[in-house]
Amino acid sequence: MGPRKVLAYILAPAAPSLESGLHHRTRRILFGSQRTYDDNEAHLQRFSSILFNLTKDATFDALRKDLPFEWNKEEVYDTVNPFGDARQVDFESLWTFDIDNDTLLCTNRYRRTQISLAFLWDRPVTLADMTYLGPPVPSPVDPTAGLIEPYWKPQVHVEPRLRAFAHRILYDFNHQWRHILRSNYNTITLRVLARAIIRLSTLRFDVHEEIGSRYGRGNNYVWITQLPWWEPFQDDIILVGDVYLVVCPSIQEGISMVQDHTKSHIEGSLHKREHYMVLSVKHIMLCRTTGPDKLEYTAPEPLFNGNRSIGPPSVLALDYLLWATASCIPSVSTPLRLLPTEIQDIILGYASAGTVAAAQIGCLLGIGSTFLWMDGPLKICLMETCTIRPAGLPVESQLWIDNKNVGIVYKGR
């Protein structure tokens, strides 16, 4: 067996110059890697020798200078856990030095363990000194804890054409970003994910079509150590069409945010029912005010967990998402709606090179047949690898937000 890759993060308080910009950072996060034959015990011994007799203030610089990792030139905005699916085979372990909280966390394919950095500053340590935390992927939390029944059960209707198109895209988003979605993540990542979810749900994305040849070696569109690269939401509560979107780390915290928000709005709108979509990314809940200090909500539905043990997003969760944001999709009046569906399909066939972009146009205009995810006789599949592309292959449809690929790419097979 050849050398395996070992990953490391160093977390420390952010310098004032970093507390602004695209991804507002409250912490510095260095990310590095190396290929090695050394086992985890050997790594811990090396860390112990570097940190022995050091102070907390000297730890960051010592680790960056003396650890045998190749550090990324640019600092990242969150950590990524590569363990949890078959792609983990190339990795030995992940070491996270959280200087703020005085902890060292080790994650591998079997477990998570941790030790206080104070022990490494004070004396030599071994793996036996580390505390077992659980499996490599944290166990899911109960989204219903503390909620009061009966739940609100709204009559949800989603236009079939939109449902067939958007459901598939959102399922594939869950698959492509499963390494992020199944783990814990910080506020920046939460807002980045939430923004993509809303953009995809409301069809506010571009479809870039690859029709020519492409050369070069194949790379994954999304790899297991990558963070999303598009912009985040700039706030936790955003008006999306007719509904307030509440971006929150948990359903329980989201309900508290809704209650605080309704109190600030209730004086000027005593007779108006406000509607909310509570989005923790892992779960979704719809809420509405029914009077002063009165709130009713649906049962939380599992959304994007990226975890096989939980399963894909529930159909109802995706319907909640599409139903609540439907007012964001502009209603375009067109005489094409008066034509027979068969004629509409022929017209859409001339609208783009591929059928994915045509289906998006059909959803926006309210015309055409329900998309069957076919390109002629070919079934449209999610592509995970950017391979060499000879001339004459079927159209490749890439979904983009902010002039950046979302990692969702389709091609007929």
Query: Which of helix, strand or coil describes residue 170?
Result: helix
Q: In the prediction, which pLDDT does 17 show?
A: 55
Q: If 0-12 CB within 10 Å is exposed, 13-18 middle and 19+ buried, where does residue 160 land? A: exposed
Handedness of CA 219, 221, 227, 229 (dihedral sign): positive
With tokens 């970003």, the residue in question is: 177
Q: Where is average pLDDT lowest: 146-155, 214-223, 256-265, 397-406?
A: 214-223
Please check whether residue 229 is in contact with residue 413, taking contact to mean a CB–CB distance below 8 angstroms: no
Given a cut of 80, whether residue 271 has pLDDT beyond it is no
Residue 43: left if φ>0, alpha if ψ -120 to 50, beta else—which one?
Answer: alpha
Q: How many CB atoms lie within 10 A of CB 296?
A: 16
**pTM for the complete prediction?**
0.94
The pLDDT score that the predictor gives to residue 390 is: 82
Q: Please report, for the chain, the start and end positions of each structural domain, with discontinuous segments joined by +.
A: 4-134, 160-202+226-326, 335-412
330 token code pair: 């502009």
Per-residue pLDDT of 324-341, as tens digits, reads 999 998 888 899 999 999
Q: Say how many C-beta atoms besides its own lie within 10 A of residue 108's C-beta.
A: 17
Mean pLDDT of the chain, nearest integer: 93
**Where residue 393 falls among pLDDT bands split at 50, 70, 90?**
confident
d(CA 333, CA 324): 21
Checking if the pLDDT of 215 tops 80, the result is no
What is the crossing angle of helices 160-176 and 315-325, to 10°?
120
DSSP β-bridge partners for residue 8: 32, 95
Q: Which residue has the higher pLDDT, 346 or 1?
A: 346
In this prediction, residues 338-357 reach a mean pLDDT of 97
Q: Could you identify the residue written with the tokens 């069957």?
A: 372
**pLDDT for the residue numbered 216:** 64
H helices, E strands: number in the chain: 10, 20
Say whether pLDDT at 181 is over 70: yes
Mode of pairing for the β-strands spanning 385-386 and 374-375: unpaired
Residue pair 115/130 in contact (Cβ under 8 Å)? The answer is yes
pLDDT of residue 289: 92
With 80 as the cut, is the pLDDT of residue 24 above it? no
Torsion sign over Cα 47, 90, 181, 399: positive
Residue 163 in tokens: 């449902």
Cα angle: 223, vertex 320, 283; to 5 degrees: 50
Q: Which stretch of DSSP H or E encloses residue 347?
A: helix 341-349
Name the token pair of 239.
């008006």
Q: Each residue of 29-62: b (16+ CB within 10 Å) or e?
A: bbbbbbeeebebeebbeebbeebeeeeeeebbee
Per-residue confidence band for 173, with pLDDT thresholds at 50, 70 and 90: very high
Instruction: Calculate Rg over the CA atoms of the chain.
Output: 24
Give the chain's end-to-end CA distance (angstroms, integer): 35
* Partners of 208 in the β-ladder: 398
pLDDT at position 275: 95
Tokens 């004629």, residue located: 343
| pLDDT (0 to 100) of residue 137 | 93
| pLDDT tens digits along 32-81 | 999 999 999 999 999 999 999 999 999 999 999 999 999 999 999 999 99
